[in-house]
Amino acid sequence: MGPGGLGGCYQFCGGDVTVFEHFSNKRKIEALQEDFATLRREFNSLKLDWENTQNKLLHVMGRMNKRAALAQEKEDALMGLPANETTGQPLTPRQQLINSQIAARRRANGQGEG
């Protein structure tokens, strides 16, 4: 095969490659590069979505924990336990006085403990 045969053959890395094959490979490489760029964008989008989902879950879990703590405080109050007893902090004299006044009112109104 001489020059110009089969669409203009030329030497390339020790082998015969036609002009059409060269452009075909170039198109394939460009298509692969576009596909890779698309995949990279989609992956980054998924990463952002996952981070947003994690943040939302943390926010919801925080609210649930807060509600559970408030429910526990209400339950403790209904059971007659002092609020600070759960934290292990001793009551100040003023708090003890107020607690005893509240307990006396409950006994007087017939809402005694137990």
Q: What pLDDT does 108 receive? A: 86
Please tell me the predicted confidence (pLDDT) of residue 25.
83
d(CA 36, CA 25): 16
Q: Residue 14 — φ and ψ, nearest 5°?
A: 80, 5
**What pLDDT digit, counting tens, does each position of 2-41 carry?**
555 555 545 555 555 566 666 778 888 999 999 999 999 9
Contacts of 32 (CB under 8 A, 6+ apart): none
In the chain, helix, strand, coil percent, each to 5? 70, 5, 25
Under a CB-based contact definition with an 8 Å cutoff, are residues 18 and 7 in contact? yes
For residues 62 and 46, give the distance between their C-alpha atoms in angstroms, rounded to a whole number: 24
Per-residue confidence (pLDDT) for residue 23, from 0 to 100: 72
pLDDT in tens, 33-78: 999 999 999 999 999 999 999 999 999 999 999 999 998 888 888 8
Instruction: State residue 106's pLDDT score.
Output: 87
Instruction: Find where tokens 């981070």 sit.
Output: 51
Domain range summary for the chain, segments of one domain joined by +: 15-82
Q: What is the pLDDT of residues 83-97, one digit of tens each?
A: 555 556 788 899 889
Nearest to 2 by CA among 14, 16, 12: 16
